[in-house]
A = this chain, B = another copy of it.
Amino acid sequence: MKKNEISILGSGLIGSLMSIYLKKRGLDVQVYEKRADNRKVEYKEEGRSINMALSDRGWKALDKAGLRDKVLPLTIPMYGRKIHDEHGKTTFIPYGKEGQAIYSISRGRFNQLLVEEAEKLGVEVHFDHRVDEIDLRTNEILVTNPEGIQEKIPSNVIIGADGAYSALRNAMLKQVRFDYKQEYISHGYKELTIPATEAGEFAMDPNALHIWPRGSFMLIALPNPDKSFTCTLFLPFDGERVCFENIRDEKDLVGMFQTYFDDAFQLMPDLVGEYFRNHTSALINIECYPWMLKNAILIGDSSHAMVPFYGQGMNCGFEDCYVLDGLIEKLGTNVWELIFAKFQKMRKPNTDAISQLAMENFEEMRNEVADPKFLIRKKIETKLHELYPKDWIPLYTMVTFSDIPYSEAYAQGKLQKKIMDKVMSNPLITQNWNKLDYEDIVNQMDKAKAF
């Protein structure tokens, strides 16, 4: 049987972009995808979020493939968080400087575009092909095709872009000295909708990511091009207080929404139907190492699935593709083991850092953003960044609006936090935040970095 030059497992966002990069390097690329072609059947995601937020790292990777102009029309810019309190009062907190935004995009439509672009270049995408097993000694993939027949596909290179439940990773798991961790958090999520108004308009400001932070739980909403919002409700699975387990019927549900999310509730005519129809999904964090074995490599969620609270899962996966393609550019297409070894070594500290930040940001989103002091903190950091644009870059900006390695952003963020905690401990901070000695604050950062 003919040997594939490159086999990619998964035609999701990451697998599709990787296939485009590799095809552009003149390689033969075959992609195996267990789902049906979503351009032919009605698009349906199960247990995965519908909206993504594209930020700078994602755009940079799309630019390299020449795709920005095609993707931009599918997006809606969100310039900041809009925080909703219990009384429906909102506060807007910008994400960055004027004009800086993250971009809401629907996963389904975006994925279709990337698959189309890949196919235009000559990538072969095999839908309805389930990967059953991978033989890591021979680099053979065992797939079941749509007719139910198993085929054994020898491959020179296997790239696992097959997500949190990766078949390639499962094969690696059985290898000696493969470190692996999967961890579910105590919260799950459920998707709900705020539809367009009767007049066909957005029911809320479309250029913001809406958050209803309630301490141990929260609701968020992202805009869609059809003028609806996709809402995601994050609750603990079980416990004493508000949790999925304790919402047993319409009365429980409506009572909870009226108490905590009344302004959103007024905009959700089908809340009850959706709530009891839609699946409750779990949130997993996955870490593993190594990511490679000979000519096989894991990228994206397959090696580092993260919780969604920094909006970086997709962006980080795209950056994986960008970094990997950069190594291929430099080292050629004959030294895959060397490329993969360099890739995992460079990349692992960065994916560890963003996974950790994503975990920590959950606390910030559902709790801290509701604190008036959070706004002051953001204002001080914005001003520091204005005054000393190179010496103080807020953590969110480093992660979202730069390509500073995540690990470096993480380390600097920790130093900043220490200094800001001290600044914020001033009991009069709410009154005098504008009169602080900003030079002194930024000097503390320089001093801390020197160590």
Which of A70-78, A95-103, A181-189 sits within the interface?
A: A181-189
Q: Is A43 an interface residue (CB 8 A)?
A: no
Q: How far is the CA of A298 from the CA of B386 in the complex (A)?
A: 57
A220 → chain B closest CB, angstroms? 22
Q: Is A199 an interface residue (CB 8 A)?
A: no
Q: Is A449 an interface residue (CB 8 A)?
A: no
What are the residues of chain B within 8 A of A424 when measuring CB–CB?
Answer: none
A237 → chain B closest CB, angstroms? 8
**A164-197 to B contact mask, C-beta < 8 Å, 1/0:** 0100000001101111111110000000000000
Q: How far is the CA of A173 from the CA of B183 in the complex (A)?
A: 11
Q: Nearest residue in B to A188 (C-beta to C-beta)?
A: B177
What are the residues of chain B within 8 A of A177 when measuring CB–CB?
Answer: 184, 237, 282
What are the residues of chain B within 8 A of A184 when measuring CB–CB?
Answer: 176-179
What are the residues of chain B within 8 A of A178 when measuring CB–CB?
Answer: 182, 184
A47 → chain B closest CB, angstroms? 9
Copies of this chain, whole number: 2
Q: How far is the CA of A239 from the CA of B182 in the complex (A)?
A: 28
What are the residues of chain B within 8 A of A176 when measuring CB–CB?
Answer: 184, 282
Q: Nearest residue in B to A287 (C-beta to C-beta)?
A: B181
A283 → chain B closest CB, angstroms? 10
Q: Nearest residue in B to A237 (C-beta to C-beta)?
A: B177
What are the residues of chain B within 8 A of A282 when measuring CB–CB?
Answer: 176-177
What are the residues of chain B within 8 A of A179 when measuring CB–CB?
Answer: 182-184
Q: How far is the CA of A176 from the CA of B173 in the complex (A)?
A: 18
Of residues 275 through 320 on chain A, the ones whose CB sits less than 8 Å from some CB of chain B are 282
What are the residues of chain B within 8 A of A180 when measuring CB–CB?
Answer: 180-183
Q: How far is the CA of A165 from the CA of B176 in the complex (A)?
A: 11
What are the residues of chain B within 8 A of A181 when measuring CB–CB?
Answer: 180-183
What are the residues of chain B within 8 A of A174 when measuring CB–CB?
Answer: 165
A360 → chain B closest CB, angstroms? 19
Q: How far is the CA of A142 from the CA of B233 in the complex (A)?
A: 40
Q: Nearest residue in B to A173 (C-beta to C-beta)?
A: B182
Q: How far is the CA of A173 from the CA of B237 in the complex (A)?
A: 19
Q: How far is the CA of A35 from the CA of B15 in the complex (A)?
A: 41
What are the residues of chain B within 8 A of A182 when measuring CB–CB?
Answer: 173, 178-181
Q: How far is the CA of A183 from the CA of B237 in the complex (A)?
A: 28
What are the residues of chain B within 8 A of A173 when measuring CB–CB?
Answer: 182
Q: How far is the CA of A237 from the CA of B165 in the complex (A)?
A: 30
What are the residues of chain B within 8 A of A237 when measuring CB–CB?
Answer: 177
A374 → chain B closest CB, angstroms? 31
A395 → chain B closest CB, angstroms? 28
Q: Nearest residue in B to A281 (C-beta to C-beta)?
A: B176
Of residues 121 through 179 on chain A, the ones whose CB sits less than 8 Å from some CB of chain B are 165, 173-174, 176-179
Q: Nearest residue in B to A177 (C-beta to C-beta)?
A: B184
Q: Nearest residue in B to A180 (C-beta to C-beta)?
A: B182
Q: How far is the CA of A179 from the CA of B180 in the complex (A)?
A: 11
A372 → chain B closest CB, angstroms? 35
Q: Nearest residue in B to A176 (C-beta to C-beta)?
A: B282
Q: How far is the CA of A173 from the CA of B284 in the complex (A)?
A: 13
A279 → chain B closest CB, angstroms? 11
Of residues 228 through 267 on chain A, the ones whose CB sits less than 8 Å from some CB of chain B are 237
Q: How far is the CA of A178 from the CA of B181 in the complex (A)?
A: 11
Q: How far is the CA of A177 from the CA of B182 in the complex (A)?
A: 9
Q: How far is the CA of A182 from the CA of B181 in the complex (A)?
A: 6
Q: How far is the CA of A179 from the CA of B282 in the complex (A)?
A: 12
Q: How far is the CA of A174 from the CA of B182 in the complex (A)?
A: 11
A181 → chain B closest CB, angstroms? 4
Q: List 19 A-B contacts (CB under 8 A).
A: A165-B174, A173-B182, A176-B184, A176-B282, A177-B184, A177-B237, A177-B282, A178-B182, A178-B184, A179-B182, A179-B183, A179-B184, A180-B180, A180-B181, A180-B182, A180-B183, A181-B181, A181-B182, A181-B183
Closest A-B pairs by Cβ, 10 of them: A181-B181, A177-B184, A180-B182, A179-B183, A176-B282, A177-B282, A179-B184, A179-B182, A180-B181, A180-B180
Q: Contacts A176-B282, A177-B282, A181-B181 known; list 11 others, CB within 8 Å.
A: A177-B184, A177-B237, A178-B182, A178-B184, A179-B183, A179-B184, A180-B180, A180-B181, A180-B182, A180-B183, A181-B182
